[in-house]
Amino acid sequence: MRRDGAGAGPLAVILFGSPGSGKGTQSRFLVEMLGIPQISTGDMLRDHMRRGTGTGEAIADRMRAGSLVPDEMVNRLVSERIQLDDCQSGFILDGYPRTISQAAAMVDLLAGLGGEEVVIHLSVDYNVIMSRMAGRRVCLKCGTLYNAVTRPPRIAGVCDSDNAVLVIREDDREEVVSERLKQYEAQTKPLVEFFRESGKRLVEVNASVEQPEVICGRIRESLGSLPGAGVYSS
């Protein structure tokens, strides 16, 4: 994959939307479509917890409660990650930035690398989010996410790829979900205005009803119609 024109630095595709908006699924589609890596701060943080690193221990309580972890910590993780070789032409940010302060840090970092951003906002009705979150299951072995309605496994309760038993992620429990939604409304939703006001390319995608493939098609159309974003060729 090669990126033509539009500055020398990386293109950051920022996917954002509430928990349950389908960010993870759409990120994986975009990885295939654009041939650039996905960077999920949630996955990176969970990985630290699994490995029991100092960072993992410092964030465990917040993660379990569904609260955001400190900005400096995620800013540092993302900054280190996006400067690796595989991010040179671009990357997909899934779950970052989530606060105005993270967004400002990211805009500065990207400008320093000579890059630019396109922001994709997946908007989803509250009731749809709640029913999606209730049916969500994950394979602890390979990380694949399933959903009873939109993406059921072939055999109920078992991962298609490795036959491992599917479980409810700890932070998908009902009380934690409502805390995560509160945090999203208070801290992350204002980013739509932040990006609009700072003149960044912002694409609003209605992700409430259709199958994930249809939503991906909408994202593809929007990217193609943006000057400088439909610039990938293999």
Query: Residue with CB nearest ligand ADP?
Result: 42
Shortest approach of ligand ADP to residue 96 CB, angstroms? 4
Task: Please pick, from the candidates 135, 158, 160, 171, the single residue that binds ligand ADP as defined by CB under 6 A.
Answer: 171
Q: Tell me the C-alpha distance between 18 and 95, whole Å.
A: 9
Q: How far is the CB of 228 from ligand ADP (least distance, A)?
A: 25
22 binds ligand ADP (CB under 6 A): no
Active-site annotation holds for 180: yes
Active site residue 3: no
The three-state (H, E, C) secondary structure of the chain, written as one string = CEECCCCCCCEEEEEEECCCCCHHHHHHHHHHHHCCCEEEHHHHHHHHHHHCCHHHHHHHHHHHHCCCCCHHHHHHHHHHHHCCHHHCCEEEEECCCCCHHHHHHHHHHHHHCCCEEEEEEEECCHHHHHHHHHCEEEECCCCCEEECCCECCCCCCECCCCCCEEECCHHHCHHHHHHHHHHHHHHHCCHHHHHHHCCCEEEEEECCCCCHHHHHHHHHHHHHCCCCCCCEEC
Using CB under 6 A, pick the residue from 3, 11, 13, 19 that binds ligand ADP.
Answer: 19
**Residue selected from 95, 103, 153, 166 as contacting ligand ADP according to rule CB under 6 A:** 95
- Could you say which of 29, 91, 96, 146 contacts ligand ADP (CB under 6 A)? 96
CB of 86 to ligand ADP, least distance (A): 20
Q: Is 62 part of the annotated catalytic residue set? A: no
Q: Determine if 98 is a binding residue for ligand ADP (CB under 6 A).
A: yes
Q: Per CB under 6 A, does 10 bind ligand ADP?
A: no
| Residues within the interface to ligand ADP (CB under 6 A) | 19, 23, 41-42, 45, 62-63, 66-69, 74, 95-96, 98, 102, 171, 180
Residues serving a catalytic function are: 23, 98, 136, 169, 180
